[in-house]
Amino acid sequence: MACNSSGCESGGCYDREKENGSKIVEDAVVGVCVKCKCNEPKTFGDGGSDDGKFCAECFRNNVFGKFRLAVTSHAMITPSDNVLVAFSGGSSSRVALQFVHELQIKALKNYEASRDRSLPVFGVGVAFVDETAAFPALSMETIDAIDWIRSTVSNFSPPAKDLHVVPIESVFGSDSLDPRDRLVKLLDSVPDDTGKEDLLLHLKMLSLQKVAFENGYNRLVVGSCTSRIASHVLTATVKGRGYSLSADIQHVDARWNVPIVLPLRDCVRQEITRLCLLDGLKTVELACRSQSGINDLVSSFVALLQEENPSRECTIVRTAAKLTPFYFNKIPETDDSNVPMATQRRLKRFNLKYDGSMTTEAFCPICNGPKNRSDSSELDTFDESQESDALYAACCSSCRFQILPEDGSSLEQFGSFLPDHMISQVKHQKVHSQNDLREKIKDCLLLDDEEAV
């Protein structure tokens, strides 16, 4: 059976070809690309089921096509946008950066070719979060990584891209006295290892949001691929975060100040890795801290499943995609006519179903996950004048368990270490709910402002 397939490399075929006296290609690949039917297929030798079926060009077009479809069908990037790409140095965000760059080059060409020059070219910036404060042992590697990132970003062809190196402790704001120390104390007061890891991730997102907002970006591109999202689906499930899960895995997540978009959501890690190989894209992985918690256990579980069935990751993400998204899982509607008609039409075609009855009122101040009613109902039993109680009541049940310290006094201290942004969310939760309620009924309100109430 294998002998009929174009990419067969087994010794049996090879020998037979030889005996037949037919011409042998250097790497023993026979046949042509199944897509274009003319180029020589590319063999990556990574054990993938489609390895050796497509030529390099068709493979690349396919991956880029998925990226572009995600971008256009969800209006992730429009001409007037200013886009910040979160770049960790890893392969996914490297590919995201590359693709966004290519999109920008195309937009530039179109701009220069068009007569009226009506569509501007969107801007691109790059952000790297420096986590040295949390991992002092990685300080040397991080310095090298930043040097490398700087040269990578400056080597892109114009338009030039700004690079923002963001120390993670910048979440505490510029007026914080010793932000590094505060970060260490904050992390140290989290008893659970997985909780600590997750808190750091939340802080990282917050610092990206901060730098994006302060520098006038209106989109944050995150390079999460299908494989990454599949792991997230399982970790969220295992942590009891089933309710908020559907908020995290959509193409667009606009619950933040600066909406997050995931253009590589439909590409698997193997494709990303191959693309890096093909394009000679260099990456840098900062030596991963030893993981021993839930997240790591899930990763190895997913790897095992993937071995058993190479399409498992996709199935997992497809399951989660059937969950009902939230009202904020789309680019907020603006009445700006900058969104081209074609995009508007496409958006209609991909129209996601929104169940109005399922919108939530409150978000967890730590993970920013929408809270289920069952989480909120427990709120009644606490005295909210007590600040630590208010924090406890405002958090989702998952953060309560794995991030908040257990006893009252350390909880109070923990609250004092948290970024002011998170704490202010606790205080303004009631105001937020009001706004969210308003959002739900706004089509029936006759006046635009609060005064009507």
| Contact residues: other proteins, CB under 8 A | 194, 233-234, 236-243, 245-246, 293-294, 297, 301, 304-305, 308, 312, 315-316, 318-320, 322-324, 353, 355, 358, 372, 374, 397-398, 401, 406-407
Nearest CA among 162, 161, 166 for reference residue 146? 166
d(CA 310, CA 315): 10
Nearer to other proteins, 312 or 421 (CB): 312
- State the nearest-atom distance from the C-beta of 203 to Zn ion, in Å: 13
Q: Which does 358 bind (CB under 5 to 8 A by kind): Zn ion, other proteins, none?
A: other proteins
| Shortest Å, Cβ 307 to other proteins | 10
- Compute CA distances 362 → 237, 367, 380, whole Å: 20, 12, 15
**Would residue 63 be called left, alpha or beta, if left means φ above 0 and alpha means ψ between -120 and 50 degrees?**
alpha
Which residues 6+ apart lie within 8 Å of 38 measured at CB?
Answer: 32, 55
Indicate which of other proteins, Zn ion, none lies near residue 239 (CB less than 5 to 8 Å, by partner kind).
Answer: other proteins
- Partner whose footprint covers residue 35, from other proteins, Zn ion, none (CB < 5 to 8 Å by kind): Zn ion
Compute the least distance from the CB of residue 26 to other proteins, in Å: 40
Which residue number, 115 or 353, has a Cβ lying nearer to other proteins?
A: 353
Binding partner of 159, given other proteins, Zn ion, none, CB within 5-8 angstroms per partner class: none
Q: Which spans in 155-292 are helix H?
A: 179-188, 193-214, 226-238, 242-248, 269-279
Q: With CB cut-offs between 5 and 8 Å by kind, which of Zn ion, other proteins, none does residue 396 bind? A: Zn ion
Q: Residue 117 CB, nearest distance to Zn ion (Å)?
A: 35
Q: Using CB distances below 5 to 8 A depending on partner kind, what does residue 233 bind out of other proteins, Zn ion, none?
A: other proteins
Using CB under 5 A as the binding rule, whether residue 404 contacts Zn ion is answered as no
Least gap, CB of 371 to other proteins (angstroms): 10
User: What does 236 interact with, of Zn ion, other proteins, none (CB < 5 to 8 A by kind)?
Assistant: other proteins
- Is 399 a binding residue for Zn ion by CB under 5 A? The answer is yes
Q: Which CB atom, from 343 or from 410, has the smaller least distance to other proteins?
A: 410
> 3-class DSSP state for residue 263?
coil
Establish if 367 lies at the interface with Zn ion (CB under 5 A): yes
Following DSSP, what letter does each residue of 70-119 receive, concatenated?
HHHHTT-S-TT-EEEEE--SSHHHHHHHHHHHHHHHHHHHHHHH-SS--S
Alpha carbon 14 to its chain's center: 44
- Min separation Cβ 274 and other proteins, Å: 25
Cβ of 408: how many Cβ atoms within 10 Å? 12
**Which residue, 142 or 398, has its beta carbon nearer to Zn ion?**
398
85 binds Zn ion (CB under 5 A): no
Contact partner, 58, from other proteins, Zn ion, none, Cβ < 5-8 Å per class: Zn ion
CA atoms within 13 A on the CB side of 88: 16
Q: What are phi and psi of 127, to 5 degrees?
A: -125, 135
Min dist. Cβ of residue 379 to other proteins (A): 17
Which C-beta is closer to other proteins: that of 65 or that of 191? Answer: 191
Q: Nearer Cβ to other proteins, position 242 or 310? A: 242
Query: Is the CB of 327 or the CB of 363 nearer to Zn ion?
Result: 363
393 in contact with Zn ion (CB under 5 A): no
CB contact set of 129 (below 8 Å; sequence gap of 6+)? 86, 88, 166, 167, 168, 204, 207, 208
- Cβ at position 299, least distance to other proteins in Å: 11
- Cβ atoms of 415 and 391 closer than 8 Å: yes
Does 422 participate in binding Zn ion (rule CB under 5 A)?
Answer: no
User: Are the beta carbons of 335 and 75 closer than 8 angstroms?
Assistant: no
Contact assessment for residue 417 and residue 185, using Cβ atoms and an 8 Å cutoff:
yes
User: Is 198 within 8 Å of 236 (Cβ atoms)?
Assistant: no
For the CB of residue 407, give the shortest distance to other proteins in the complex, in Å: 7
d(CA 261, CA 269): 18
Q: Does 199 bind Zn ion (CB under 5 A)?
A: no
How many whole angstroms separate alpha carbon 95 and alpha carbon 223?
8
Nearer to other proteins, 256 or 401 (CB): 401
Using CB under 5 A, which residues numbered 24 to 63 contact Zn ion?
33, 35-36, 39, 55, 58
**Complex with other proteins: residue 159 or 293, whichever CB lies closer:** 293
- Amino acid identity of 137? A
* Residue/partner pairs of 150-157 with CB below 8 Å, 24 or more apart: 152/282, 153/87, 153/126, 156/101, 157/105
Where do contacts with Zn ion occur on this chain (CB under 5 A)? 33, 35-36, 39, 55, 58, 364, 366-367, 369, 396, 399
